[in-house]
Amino acid sequence: MKYRTGFVSNSSSSSFVCDVCGAEYSGMDASIYDADMVECENGHIFCESHLDNELFNQFKENKIKQIMKEEECDHNKAEDHLDYYEWRYDFPSEYCPCCQLKEIVDKDLIEFALFKLGIERNECENMFRTEFKNLKEFTQR
């Protein structure tokens, strides 16, 4: 058994994958802010660049006005106070490109296909296993 001596960090690695384009970001103690990504209230994670600029600016201004009212401060101070964690996590679904179906995420498309077929996921899995011996056989069909 190996024993580690000296400094041992409790840091952890975090990674984020964009549901829209598949871009990946990872790093030690990384946050969604570091990745320039956003997570909506329904769990979609996507690059900030996928946000509609006009809607995004409207959202930020609304948040700034809310902070100005709550903190009784001016626009500049409120803008500085707009903490990245405050809006990057639990981002409202009305601004999410996935929730607004501007971008279709694979997991949502699969759920839709199962719904249209009228079958449960486990039933689909069993059909898949019955029809193909392995993934290679499926991909070479």
- Which sequence spans correspond to the domains of the chain? 13-103, 105-141
**Percentage of residues in the chain with pLDDT exceeding 90?**
49
Between 55 and 139, the more confident residue is 139
**Tens digits of residue pLDDT in 68-98:** 888 888 888 877 777 655 778 888 899 899 9
SS3 string, 40-70, reads ECCCCEEEHHHCCHHHHHHHHHHHHHHHHHH
**Tens digits of residue pLDDT in 4-31:** 444 445 557 889 999 999 999 998 888 8
**Separation between Cα atoms, residue 67 and residue 64, nearest integer Å:** 5
